[in-house]
């Protein structure tokens, strides 16, 4: 069973997931705090390069399986045209209503 995006409790996380699923790069950028950072499988990555490759040019999509820690930790089935589907964990640091950092990796 998946959790609908509009049921995600943190507005910043909800905006992030909705933007990913709509392949809306402008809305995605609007969900991020200035200077936002990210990591993938424990390694810091260039946010712009990573999101272009893993989300926008490969049509990334998240199906949310679980939500924890006040909406800041998600387990999702993430799929894109490059890698197919995998179970992933997402941890978000939210500050001032924007995503300051996100960390993802295989769940």
Q: What are the pLDDT digits (tens) for 63-88?
A: 999 999 999 999 999 999 999 999 99
Question: What 8-state DSSP symbol labels residue 47?
Answer: H
- Element spanning 76, H or E: strand 73-80
Contacts of 46 (CB under 8 A, 6+ apart): none
Residues forming beta bridges with residue 88, ordered by sequence position: 76, 106
pLDDT (0 to 100) of residue 2: 94
| pLDDT tens for each residue of 90-101 | 999 999 999 999
């Amino acid at each position: 069973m998946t959790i609908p995006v509009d049921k995600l409790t943190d507005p910043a996380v909800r905006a992030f997931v909705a933007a990913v699923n709509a392949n809306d790069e402008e809305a995605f950028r609007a969900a991020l705090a200035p200077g936002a950072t990210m990591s993938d499988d424990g390694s810091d990555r260039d946010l712009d390069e990573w999101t272009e490759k893993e989300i926008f040019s490969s049509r990334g999509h998240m199906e949310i399986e679980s939500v924890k820690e006040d909406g800041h930790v998600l387990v999702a089935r993430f799929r894109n045209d490059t890698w197919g589907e995998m179970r992933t964990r997402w941890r978000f640091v939210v500050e001032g209503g924007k995503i300051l950092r996100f960390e993802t990796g295989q769940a």
